[in-house]
Every structure is written in structure tokens, then in C-alpha cells.
């Protein structure tokens, strides 16, 4: 393709995408403003989350923390409670860390460019580009899964998009495409097209505003692109949880401030070792982590949860702990709480089924 043809294609893509977006874009709450805090919150909440699932969380989050100052000064447990059920809790913790930096170190001033946004905790290349283009009008690209898929098809990129070299190539393509005028609308148009039209399994090519400029469509290869790396088998972990009750109160423990599900409360739990019974595992976990002995009773619930790198089955049992004061080892704190108080604490999704039985 000659330079002139390439420029004509870019102008055609820009014109058609912007026209389509202005006609067809969904009316979403964060699209009604260019406020950096609102755009930032939406981008963090929607990472690895469908819009349909993320919108109620966004509205709840903004109601609880309407300003960056409110988020910076909030109790960390309160932030996690609002986030409860959304998953990837590190997003919430890092966003609050960034809010504290904006309020205290930057004296309430938001970053003024994509490069500056990337200096904040939890803000990567994509998020910085989205905020800067939408809220600040900066000519800077975005590249999420939807945009990767659209660009791989439009330009018939047959290399695996999971490879670092291909990712950098796609960043370069996205950078060349984004216009100086209305860069935020253009970036959102690409994402919207990937989410609603240029979908992974069944792209709606007949509804696509840029199908006549799409090389994959022209060659009939849209179903074969993008090329992804084959995924290996997901490991499975068998886990048990102890629902320990004493004098009308339940024992819960708080996870460390780093690692998986950091900062959340849970019923004491752990992985079952090979050849170990559930009862033996519960006794080992209670003694090793809490320093107490338990008597294992009946089944409470069985819960399943898929995480990013493994799948877990958690079986919870009622347990008694007649004596002893828990002294957590792998947790940072423990509490005895009444059943009516359990809803005040942020629990992982896998614990929600257990709570449902108790509440």
C-alpha cells in the first residue's frame, strides 16, 4: 500500500468511525463528562469487566466516593466493601493509593498528560491513554483487547497478538490512527466497535461502518483473526473453610495487604493436600494458622470460583472451637463477629455463597 493509499485509509477510518460512534454510542454515565476523576474511575472499574457488569459498580463507587479527596480519605476496608464482588481487588487498592498521591503529594492536581498519569499506582499504558485522550483531549492511543481485535482484522495482522513484538506493532498502528481532533471519541469508537460489532466469535460485519476498509473482511479471514496463543489447562485447587462459631459469634480473618485477595476478610481456609481428608485439612489449618483446635461438624456450602490462573472449589464446614484465643499467622487480624455484623466486611466472591447460607 502506497503512502497516499495509507493516508486515505486512515482518513476514511477516522471519518466513518466517528460518524458511527456519534450515532450509535451507548449512553453511559462516564461518557457524559470529561472530568478526569470520573473517567479514571470508569477505566479502572471496567478493566477485565464487561460494561453490563461494571456499570452498577461504577455508580455505587461514585456515590460512595464522589471526589478524589473522598477516595483518598476513605477507610481502606470501606473501599473494598464497595468493590466487593467485582474481583481484581488490587485495582481498588492501587486507585486509592493514587488518590492519596494526587491529594497529598500533588495538592489535588490531576496529571496533565498520559505520560504523567502513568506515574501513578495502577495506571498503565492503556489506562493513561484512555484518560488523557477522553478527559484531556490529548492525541494518544489506547490498546485493549477490543482494539487489538479490530486492528488485527482491519489491517490483516496474522502474527499472534499475544506476542510482545505484535503488541508493539499494534500500539504503533493505533498511534498512527488516532486523530488530533476528538481523539477521545475516536478511541472510544474503536473500543465500542470491538465490544458490540467486531466481536471475537461472531463479528457482525454487515453492521460494521468500516467493513469496506477491512482487509480481513475483504479476504474472508475475519473469523481466523486475531491469532491468539493456545491456553494451557487451568489448574484446580481443592480448598476448605472453617465456619467457626463460639458464643453466638463467627470467627473471620483478614488477608495480608499483598497477594491474592489482599485486605479482604474470609472464613479461615486453606488448600487440601494430596491424600488429606477435609476434616484433617481443617484441623491442620486451624492449628497452623490460628493456633486453636477445632471440632469439624456439618457441611455449610460448596462454592466454585475461577481466578486468573487457577480454578478453586471451596467446601465450608461448621466448626466448633471450645477454647483458645486465635493468633493468626498467615492472616493479619481476626475477629469474632455476630451474624448481623458479617455484611459490614468485604469478603471474596467465593465466600459469598457461605454468607448466603448464614444470613
Q: How many CB atoms lie within 10 A of CB 359?
A: 10
Residue 236 host element (H or E):
strand 236-246
**Bridge-based pairing state of the strands 236-246 and 269-271:** antiparallel
CB-CB contact of 226 with 215 (8 Å): no
Dmax over CA atoms of the chain, in Å, equals 81
Q: Tell me which DSSP letter residue 288 carries.
A: I
| Separation CA 39–CA 9 (nearest Å) | 30
Residue 125, all three cell numbers: 499504558
Closest Cα to residue 190, out of 145, 131, 125?
A: 145
Residue 354, all three cell numbers: 457461605
Q: Alpha carbon of 70 to those of 15, 67, 94: distances in Å?
A: 40, 5, 15
| Separation CA 280–CA 242 (nearest Å) | 12
By three-state DSSP, how is residue 27 classified?
coil
Which residues have a catalytic role annotated?
A: 43
Residue 57, all three cell numbers: 459498580
| Separation CA 200–CA 223 (nearest Å) | 8
Residue carrying the nine cell digits 464497595:
82
Amino acid at each position: 500500500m502506497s503512502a497516499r493509499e495509507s493516508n486515505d485509509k486512515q482518513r476514511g477510518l477516522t471519518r466513518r468511525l466517528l460518524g458511527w460512534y456519534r450515532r450509535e454510542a451507548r449512553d453511559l454515565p462516564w461518557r457524559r463528562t470529561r472530568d478526569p476523576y470520573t473517567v479514571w474511575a470508569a477505566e479502572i472499574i471496567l478493566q477485565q469487566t464487561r460494561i453490563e457488569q461494571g456499570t452498577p459498580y461504577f455508580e455505587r463507587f461514585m456515590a460512595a466516593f464522589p471526589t478524589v479527596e473522598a477516595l483518598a480519605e476513605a477507610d481502606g476496608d470501606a473501599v473494598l466493601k464497595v468493590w466487593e464482588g467485582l474481583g481484581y481487588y488490587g485495582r481498588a487498592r492501587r486507585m486509592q493509593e493514587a488518590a492519596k498521591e494526587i491529594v497529598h503529594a500533588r495538592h489535588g492536581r490531576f496529571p496533565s498528560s498520559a505520560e504523567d498519569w502513568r506515574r501513578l499506582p495502577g495506571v498503565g499504558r492503556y489506562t493513561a491513554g484512555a484518560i488523557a485522550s477522553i478527559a484531556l483531549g490529548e492525541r494518544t492511543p489506547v490498546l485493549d483487547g477490543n482494539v487489538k481485535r479490530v486492528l488485527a482484522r482491519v489491517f490483516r495482522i496474522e502474527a499472534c497478538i499475544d506476542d510482545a513484538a505484535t503488541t508493539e506493532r499494534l500500539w504503533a498502528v493505533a498511534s498512527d490512527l488516532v486523530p488530533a481532533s476528538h481523539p477521545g471519541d475516536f478511541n472510544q469508537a474503536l473500543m465500542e466497535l470491538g465490544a458490540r460489532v467486531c466481536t471475537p466469535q461472531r463479528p457482525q460485519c454487515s453492521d460494521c461502518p468500516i467493513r469496506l476498509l477491512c482487509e480481513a473482511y475483504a479476504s474472508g479471514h475475519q473469523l481466523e483473526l486475531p491469532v491468539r496463543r493456545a491456553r494451557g489447562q487451568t489448574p484446580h485447587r481443592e480448598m476448605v473453610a472453617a465456619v467457626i462459631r463460639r458464643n453466638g459469634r463467627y470467627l473471620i480473618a483478614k488477608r495480608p495487604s499483598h497477594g491474592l485477595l489482599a485486605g479482604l476478610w474470609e472464613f479461615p481456609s486453606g488448600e487440601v493436600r494430596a491424600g488429606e481428608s477435609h476434616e484433617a485439612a481443617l484441623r491442620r489449618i486451624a492449628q497452623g494458622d490460628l493456633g486453636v483446635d477445632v471440632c469439624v461438624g456439618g457441611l455449610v456450602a460448596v462454592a466454585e470460583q475461577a481466578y486468573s490462573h487457577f480454578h478453586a472449589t471451596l467446601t465450608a464446614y461448621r466448626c466448633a472451637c471450645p477454647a483458645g484465643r486465635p493468633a493468626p499467622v498467615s492472616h493479619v487480624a481476626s475477629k469474632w463477629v455476630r451474624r448481623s455484623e458479617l455484611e459490614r466486611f468485604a469478603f471474596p466472591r467465593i465466600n459469598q455463597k457461605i454468607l448466603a447460607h448464614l444470613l
